[in-house]
Amino acid sequence: MCGTDKMCHVMAIACQKGGTGKTTTAGNLGVGLAKMGKKVLLVDADAQGSLTASLGYREPDKLEITLASIMGKIINEQEVDSAEGILHHEEGVDLMPANIELSGLEVSLVNVMGRERIMQDYIEKMKPYYDWILIDCSPSLGMITINALACADSVLIPLQAAYLPVKGLEQLIKTIGKVKRQINPKLQIEGILLTMVNSRTNYARDISVMVRENYGSKVKIFANSIPESVRAAEISAEGISIFKHDPKGKVAVAYLSLTEEVLGIECESDLQSEAIEVAVHQRTVENGGTE
């Protein structure tokens, strides 16, 4: 972050198409931010528990405290301790895990008052302890994903460089726009991250060009993309990040560059905000202390 007094940034990592690299991106970006000295909480918001398993917790369904049980407590107006259920990973990130119980909780949310904001209550409680909170969303646009969007400052969209994932992008952007209008006015799209890119094929290059042409004027497309690699697929079986598994490989370099780009975007945004504040102050002074 740009300054020590900067508040926590909450980022949802979302795409309704499975297999686009959401979980891989959440884990590696989180560890990348931790390597930059940031305090990071990863929130697994997928009932499959993929992020939980990929960080080495092989049997998520046996965990007693998960996001589902925490949200259940909030629904029942029970007190939640900030340290409750948090798992500490060896590479410097914290994790709020998930398992299949989250699927049952999602169904029960239908009858809950303020159902879109249950996760927000938990995230607000955790924000004072972290610089970044990354929420790994499920490959759907269900109520848990809506909860994640409702409490996020921004959304990062991992997009596989292939036709079908690109085709579904419009629906996700519409959903994000609807959440912004109706629930969370501060929500912004952080950017689209192209993943599993095989730069040696014309097909991948054509898809990349198509995404930039169709969406580049409306949404930021990250300059960095994640290359296709067997190494990236191997890390989930080892419970570690790409930085530890293959620190000098092309995927590690790509995720480190993404981390730097994300931090750069944040600093850019902060500088713009500061410039606006200075301009408003100067105008106030010029007007004799009144707007």
Mean pLDDT in residue range 211-221? 85
CA separation for the pair 120, 81 (Å, rounded): 15
What DSSP character marks residue 287? T
Per-residue confidence (pLDDT) for residue 266, from 0 to 100: 54
Mean pLDDT in residue range 179-208? 88
The reported pTM is 0.85
Per-residue pLDDT reduced to its tens digit, 58-69: 899 999 999 999
In the predicted structure, residue 95 carries a pLDDT above the cut 80: yes
Identity of the residue numbered 124: E
CB 101 within 8 A of CB 66: yes
Which of these, 138, 131, 140, lies nearest to 98 by C-alpha position?
Answer: 138
All domains of the chain in start order, with CATH = 9-286 (3.40.50.300)
CB 123 within 8 A of CB 157: no
